[in-house]
Structure 1
Amino acid sequence: TELGKGLWSLKLFSSFLFPPQGRVNVHVFEDCCGGSLDPLRNNLLYPLFPNVRTTVSRLAVAPQWSNYGLRIFGYLHPAETDEYIFAVSSDDNSEFWLSLNESPENLKRLVYVGETGNEWTAPGEYWKFASQISKPVLLVKDMKYFFEILLKQNSGMDHLEIAWSLNRDNGTFSVITSEFLSLYEDESSLQMGDIDHIPQTKASYDRLLEPIPLSPHPEGDLIREDPRDHIYKHLFPECHYNPKFLISRVYDVKPLNVASKQTAIVANSCRTAGNIVMSQSHAMPIVRAFLNALHSREETRGYSLLRVVNVVRREDKDVGNRYLVELELVGPQGQKALVSHYVYALAEDSEKQTILCSPKAFSWNPSATVHIIVAVKNQARWIIQFIREMEKVYRATGDKNFNVIIIDYNSSDIDIKKRLKKATLPSYKFKKMDGNFQRTGGLQAGIDLVEDEHSILFLCDLHLYYPVNIITSIRKHCVEGKMVYAPVVMRLDCGASPRAPAGFWEVLGYGLMGIYKSDMDRIGGMNTREFKDKWGGEDWELLDRVLGNGLEVERLHLRNFFHHFHSKRGMWESNNQG
Structure 2
Amino acid sequence: MGEFVFAISSKDNSELWLSTDDSPLHVQLLARVGKTGTEWTAPGEFEKYASQISSPFRLFAERRYFFEVIHKQNHKGTDHVEVAWQLLDQNYGFVIIDSQHISLYVNESSFSMNDVAHIPQTLASHATSAKKDLSATVDMLREDLQDTFYQGESDSNFPLLRYQGLQFVRLSYVYPNDYTRLTHMETENSCFYPESQYYMNMYKFSRYMRLDPPEKRNLDRGTFFFFFFWTEVLFGLQNSIKTEMVAEDEKQSKGNATGEDRAKDEWDPVWIPDVDFEGPDDGDLTPPPEYDAEVNWDQTFQIANLDFQAFRSDWIDLHCNVSGNLLLRSSEALPLVRAFMEQLNRKRFTLVRVINVVKRADGVQGNRYLLELMLKDVNGQLLRLSHYIYALFRQSRSRNRGHGFRKTKTETLLCNPVGLHWNPDTTVHFIVPVKNQARWVQTLIRDMETLFRITGDTNFNLIITDYGSTDMDVRKALQESSLPRFQYLKLSGDFERSAGLQAGVNHIKDDHSIVFLCDLHIHFPESIIDTIRKHCVEGYKAFAPIVMRLDCGATPQDAKGYWEVNGFGLLGIFKSDLNAVGGMNTKEFKNRWGGEDWELLDRSVLFFFKSCLIA
TM class, shorter-chain normalised?
A: 0.5 to 0.7
**Is 1:486–1:553's contact at 8 Å kept on the other side of the alignment?**
no
Q: Does 1:463 align with 2:521?
A: yes
Q: Which residue of 2 aligns with 1:329?
A: 375
Q: Does 1:424 align with 2:477?
A: no
Q: Which residue of 1 aligns with 2:191?
A: 265
SS in 2 for 1:411: coil
SS in 2 for 1:265: coil
Q: Relative to structure 2, which stretch is displaced further, 353-362 or 467-476? A: 353-362
Where structure 2 has 5 or more consecutive residues not aligned to the other structure, the ranges are 1-132, 168-188, 193-316, 397-408
1:438-473 C-alpha deviation (Å, 9 max, x unpaired)? 000000000001110000000011100000100000
Q: Relative to structure 2, which stretch is displaced further, 345-354 or 324-333? A: 345-354
* C-alpha displacement of 1:362: 1.1
1:217-257 C-alpha deviation (Å, 9 max, x unpaired)? 55553212232599xxxxxxxxxxxx99520136999xx9x
**Is 1:220–1:272's contact at 8 Å kept on the other side of the alignment?**
no
Residues 250-289 of structure 1 mapped to structure 2, 5 A cutoff: 265=191, 270-289=320-339
Q: 1:344 to 1:268 in 2, by over 3 A?
A: closer
Q: Which residue of 1 aligns with 2:345?
A: 295
SS in 2 for 1:272: coil
1:84-140 C-alpha deviation (Å, 9 max, x unpaired)? xxxxxxxxxxxxxxxxxxxxxxxxxxxxxxxxxxxxxxxxxxxxxxxxxxxxxxxxx
Q: Which residue of 1 aligns with 2:463?
A: 405
Matched residues in 2 for 1:268 and 1:495: separation? 24
The one-letter code sitting in structure 2 at the alignment partner of 1:265 is C
What is the identity percentage for the equivalent residue pairs of Structure 1 and Structure 2?
49
Q: Does 1:534 align with 2:592?
A: yes
Q: 1:486 to 1:342 in 2, by over 3 A?
A: same
The one-letter code sitting in structure 2 at the alignment partner of 1:271 is N
SS in 1 for 2:326: coil
1:175-200 C-alpha deviation (Å, 9 max, x unpaired)? xxxxxxxxxxxxxxxxxxxxxxxxxx
**Is 2:154–2:611's contact at 8 Å kept on the other side of the alignment?**
no
Q: Does 1:500 align with 2:558?
A: yes
**Is 1:459–1:514's contact at 8 Å kept on the other side of the alignment?**
yes
2:583 to 525, 530, 553: 525
Q: Which residue of 1 aligns with 2:358?
A: 312
Residues 113-512 of structure 1 mapped to structure 2, 5 A cutoff: 216=134, 218=136, 221-227=139-145, 246-249=155-158, 265=191, 270-296=320-346, 300-301=347-348, 303-347=349-393, 354-512=412-570
Matched residues in 1 for 2:380 and 2:153: separation? 42
Q: 1:248 to 1:280 in 2, by over 3 A?
A: same
Residues 37-116 of structure 1 mapped to structure 2, 5 A cutoff: none
**Is 1:487–1:554's contact at 8 Å kept on the other side of the alignment?**
no
Q: Which residue of 2 aligns with 1:33?
A: none
Matched residues in 2 for 1:229 and 1:332: separation? 29
Q: 1:485 to 1:251 in 2, by over 3 A?
A: closer
Matched residues in 2 for 1:328 and 1:244: separation? 26
SS in 1 for 2:464: strand
**Is 1:286–1:354's contact at 8 Å kept on the other side of the alignment?**
no
TM-score (norm 1): 0.52
Matched residues in 2 for 1:244 and 1:413: separation? 41
SS in 1 for 2:141: coil
Matched residues in 1 for 2:190 and 2:610: separation? 29
Matched residues in 2 for 1:355 and 1:531: separation? 47
**Is 1:289–1:355's contact at 8 Å kept on the other side of the alignment?**
no
Q: 1:264 to 1:552 in 2, by over 3 A?
A: farther
* C-alpha displacement of 1:270: 2.9
* C-alpha displacement of 1:334: 1.3
**Is 1:244–1:316's contact at 8 Å kept on the other side of the alignment?**
no
Matched residues in 2 for 1:483 and 1:538: separation? 19
Give the number of aligned pairs: 319
* C-alpha displacement of 1:499: 1.4
**Is 2:153–2:612's contact at 8 Å kept on the other side of the alignment?**
no
Matched residues in 1 for 2:340 and 2:412: separation? 9
* C-alpha displacement of 1:495: 2.0
Matched residues in 1 for 2:320 and 2:153: separation? 25
Matched residues in 1 for 2:564 and 2:555: separation? 16
The one-letter code sitting in structure 2 at the alignment partner of 1:392 is T
* C-alpha displacement of 1:554: 3.7
**Is 2:421–2:537's contact at 8 Å kept on the other side of the alignment?**
yes
Matched residues in 1 for 2:489 and 2:340: separation? 47
SS in 2 for 1:373: strand
SS in 2 for 1:498: coil
Matched residues in 2 for 1:533 and 1:251: separation? 25
* C-alpha displacement of 1:381: 0.6
The one-letter code sitting in structure 2 at the alignment partner of 1:314 is R
The one-letter code sitting in structure 1 at the alignment partner of 2:344 is L
Q: Relative to structure 2, which stretch is displaced further, 351-360 or 403-412? A: 351-360
Moved over 4 A (4+): 215-220, 250-253, 266-269, 348-353
* C-alpha displacement of 1:348: 5.3
Where structure 1 has 5 or more consecutive residues not aligned to the other structure, the ranges are 1-214, 231-242, 257-262, 558-578
The one-letter code sitting in structure 1 at the alignment partner of 2:157 is S
Q: 1:553 to 1:464 in 2, by over 3 A?
A: farther
Q: Which residue of 1 aligns with 2:401?
A: none
SS in 2 for 1:488: coil
Q: 1:251 to 1:403 in 2, by over 3 A?
A: closer
SS in 1 for 2:442: helix
**Is 2:154–2:612's contact at 8 Å kept on the other side of the alignment?**
no
1:159-213 C-alpha deviation (Å, 9 max, x unpaired)? xxxxxxxxxxxxxxxxxxxxxxxxxxxxxxxxxxxxxxxxxxxxxxxxxxxxxxx
SS in 1 for 2:333: helix
Q: CA RMSD in A?
A: 2.7
Q: 1:251 to 1:421 in 2, by over 3 A?
A: closer
Q: 1:405 to 1:500 in 2, by over 3 A?
A: same
SS in 2 for 1:359: coil
